[in-house]
Structure 1
């Protein structure tokens, strides 16, 4: 059974944050709130956790389109090739916020992502997500918890999430009701920005 850990976004309690970070560090899978929908994530460096995430989502790890959830733009150079001034200005305008930016990956990517040409980078405007990534000290690899029910699409109630995912994950963070509109996805890896998915983030940042 998954642990159910209440964290308040207005003031994330360090003890509760540490509890979740310890689960991530030990290779656990955690469902947690972002500034869009609830996400399911694990430590970027833990191969076993990544394999488990891939199995749950029914995808091959090498082909999974997951995001790297970062605390801010300072870890960008760890995973992304040098970006030009225009791209950096777009990122500065948009982040933290409800966007996923696809950027060209570099040679320092963790071993499970070595063959990637591009990576999706997220810096959510959510104090809980920020506290978890900061506490871990490296990005959380994350995917959204889509619902099979096309009418609902994204489950927003943490108690229902816990009910559904109880035997699949190690912890569910109750950060209050989540949103049901995913992030806007923009590809910045080519010569011109390309909109991949219109979501919560407005397009006036381009």
Structure 2
């Protein structure tokens, strides 16, 4: 049964954030709010999270997981950036964007694309997501909370708990954060290619 945490969407309670992070450090899989929609979250070195997310979402091995970072310095440790990518991504973050880039050796092999060795990274603007990543002190393995057969992610914490109570360890309810996922920009070939139009403005990458 998933634990349920009700947090303030703009000023999350430090004690509650600390409790959720303690669960993450104990290999928990959580649902949490972001600036685009709810997402699954776990520690990068979780031995079970990737398989659990793949089972829940029915994903293949070519799916790009996202590494959610607290700031640009943390993001820069996970991916290789040339000067043009550096400037453009720094200007667009924090915000509702996911960038696909070549992974560094800091990224566990099982989290990168099986063939391309790329990974998705992002810096969310949502206060709850920011608080979780800062308290954890490392990036958060993440994936959009979109279930098989559904066209849009669930928007209410209680609904997520009701639907996924048996497969999650915790639900962090920060209120409705929308249903539009991030805009995904693939920068792995040296030029930006918008591969999914979402919550982020695409004009800066066209």
TM-score (normalised: structure 1):
0.92
CA contact (8 A) 1:71 1:133 kept: yes
Cα distance in structure 2, aligned partners of 1:73 and 1:96: 9
The answer to whether structure 1 residue 186 and structure 2 residue 182 are counterparts is no
Equivalent residue for 1:98? Answer: 96
Cα distance in structure 2, aligned partners of 1:113 and 1:42: 12
How large is the Cα RMSD of the aligned pairs?
1.7
The SS at the match of 2:48 is helix
Runs of 4+ in structure 1 over 6 Å off:
none
- 1:58 CA drift (Å): 2.4
CA contact (8 A) 1:101 1:121 kept: yes
The SS at the match of 2:77 is helix
Structure 1: where are the runs of 5+ without partners?
none
Q: How does 1:1-206 map to 2 (within 5 A)?
A: 1-60=1-60, 62-81=61-80, 83-113=81-111, 117-148=117-148, 150=150, 153-206=152-205
CA contact (8 A) 1:47 1:112 kept: no
- 1:57 CA drift (Å): 2.4
- 1:134 CA drift (Å): 1.0
CA contact (8 A) 1:44 1:50 kept: no
CA contact (8 A) 1:36 1:179 kept: yes
Cα distance in structure 2, aligned partners of 1:107 and 1:12: 33
